[in-house]
Structure 1
Amino acid sequence: MDSKISSRLTPDEAPATSSFSPNANGRHTMDRLFAAAAWTATGISVAILAWLLLTILIDGLSTLNWNFIDSLPSRNPENAGIIAALVGTLWIMAMVAAISFPVGVGAGIFLEEFATDDNWLTRLIEINIGNLAGVPSIIYGLLGLAFFVRVMEPITGGRSVLSGALTLSLLILPVIIVATREALRAVPGSMRLAGYALGANRWQVVWSHVLPAAMPGILTGVILALSRAIGETAPLIAIGAAVYISFLPSDFQSQFTALPIQIYNWVGRPQEEFHRIAASGIIVLMALLLLMNGIAIYLRNRFQKEGL
């Protein structure tokens, strides 16, 4: 019976058995090609990074010792050290974290949780924050030179640690604000509704429930922002950070230098010995960066465990 029915079907009415198999094969081929391209790009990036790190370690470990870390800069490469730049970087990063974290997180909380009205002012602020995240760092340096160094000189002390910290804080604030808003958006709305159902007001819900749940994501953004700030050179050069300094900063109005500026100065010297101690300075900078990131990651994991 089935054979009779099938024999009566016209070619247009015949059942299609494998009409989608060519497209499926093409999609699988494209998937494999894309995966291969992604793995190739990742391998090339990791290989280049490993080669750079290996080169820096080979050049810098021979001159990396306690005398190098504990000595002031010198025109003689055998006596040159990095203590002034290291202390200046610690001063700056401590002040940048103290300024940018509460301001950036507070701005993100306000824009995401309290400024819920879709008016022109809110849209203008959001557009400007998104644009400021892509502004070149030298522009922030020129802004810091014009405002923090010259206009606010009686407060900041001119070309000082405070001026550098304020400039770098402006540089990373958009990153922290955007990361804070994204972390707050990831918190389920049911958590807010549960707090309101128990009689809490908006601030109590945000402070007691939403912010602790979003803190791991916020700290991830802070880690990325501080990692960018610690390696910036152009803004500090623009505000007039010292290239050569023979003393340690004593307060927030002291003149300063930083590790990126000191490394930049040594790399520009023609002597090969300065290039080696520049590699040693890069190792110290990477160690400081890993230490900062390690502390931030520990705090992030701790908040994650408390939120579970």
Structure 2
Amino acid sequence: MGVELLVLLLLLGAFVGTMAGLLGIGGGLIVVPALVFILPLADIDPSVSMQIALATSLATIIITSGSSALNHLKLGNVDMFVIKWLMPGVIVGGFVGANIAEWVPSQYLPKLFGIIVLALAIQMLVSIKAVKVRPMPSALVTILSGAGIGMISSLAGIGGGSLSVPFLNRHGVEMRKAVGSSSVCGCVIAISGMLGFIVHGYHSSALPPYSVGYVYLPALLAIAASSIFTTRLGAKLATNMPTGQLKKVFAVFLLCIAGTMLA
């Protein structure tokens, strides 16, 4: 990997860390499309570039979401009741999503990612004007919701914040605590999904050197090295930013990513 690519990945990591703390996302919505563009520059086989992007994204999320979660815990932005009931579902769903991604043909994965993100953007835009807040569902429904969040998130290589934040906010969890709680769940989703991609990646003969399954270690280390230092900045911004403005930033961000992948 050349110096230019290394610098590009370090800058990507810094941006990812800030957005992880600000929006409660693990960074996959940024990392996946960025790596789809960057990996071919490192002479990586296009037939596995999307799988590598998804798996490496999930690996970076373990670090960025973990760091973001710690910062939000210190700021009191995590609802432990929510964590208790979402966690079992996201663990199972994360592993299932990685298995589904292995079955989908490579050429369709970017479009599938774009469709998922577009749906998330529309959902958030609708929630900005929504005034009706529902109570949290029963424990069983919350666990099943967590499974759905985990499966879709792993399939798209994201930490789940773009799903769990609107879900929690719609059910009465204040936006900042929804963001903080999402960071905790995102770390768990990433671990579960990454393990699934590692298992399936060992069967591929097109992997580049320094890969563990579909996880590409040089990209992982470069992104993680800078992102871990900027999550604190994002968490502080989330604490000080008005809730309505935070939702708008989130929705516009998702629309930009969806447009990029579907273009």
Shorter-chain TM band? 0.3 to 0.5
The structure number with the bigger radius of gyration is 1
Of structures 1 and 2, the one with the larger relative CO (CA 8 A, separation 6+) is 2
Say which structure is richer in helix: 2
Task: Please give the TM-score of this superposition, normalised by the length of structure 2.
Answer: 0.33
Q: Using structure 1 for the length normalisation, give the TM-score.
A: 0.29
